[in-house]
């Protein structure tokens, strides 16, 4: 992976072109794509963590989009990923009860 460039959403080049600019892009190899997705997940997570409540949901949607793309790059679609989430929730629970573990006695 080169140190230049940034993984962007699929329609961004056409949006840039519609604004009268000429985007310079290339298609990443599968390995580079997965590495860039991992980096993008960190970027989107940082944006979510620093967002105020007014924009947090939009940032969370960006995180989810990257998670879905990572899952696809690992050979699992969003439906199968959701099924895995539900199975883990059934087995160990979710996070809705706001339980904080402070250790053992």
Collapse the DSSP code of 48 into the 3-class scheme (helix H, G, I; strand E, B; otherwise coil) and give the result: helix
Q: 55-97: per-residue pLDDT in tens?
A: 999 999 999 999 999 999 999 999 999 999 999 999 999 999 9
The residues spanned by each domain of the chain are 12-92
CA distance 43 to 63: 9
Smallest Cα–Cα separation from 38: which of 88, 81, 87, 1? 1
Q: What is the pLDDT of residue 4?
A: 84
Smallest Cα–Cα separation from 60: which of 103, 52, 73? 52
């Amino acid at each position: 992976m080169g140190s230049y460039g940034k993984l962007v959403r699929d329609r961004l080049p056409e949006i840039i072109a519609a604004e009268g600019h000429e985007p310079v892009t290339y298609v990443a190899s599968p390995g580079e794509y997965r590495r860039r997705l991992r980096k993008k997940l960190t970027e989107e997570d940082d944006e979510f963590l620093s967002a105020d409540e007014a924009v947090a949901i939009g940032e969370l949607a960006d995180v989810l989009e990257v998670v879905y793309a990572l899952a696809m790059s690992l050979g699992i679609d969003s439906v199968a990923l959701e099924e895995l989430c539900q199975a883990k929730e059934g087995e160990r629970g979710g996070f809705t009860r706001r339980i904080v573990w402070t250790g053992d006695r």
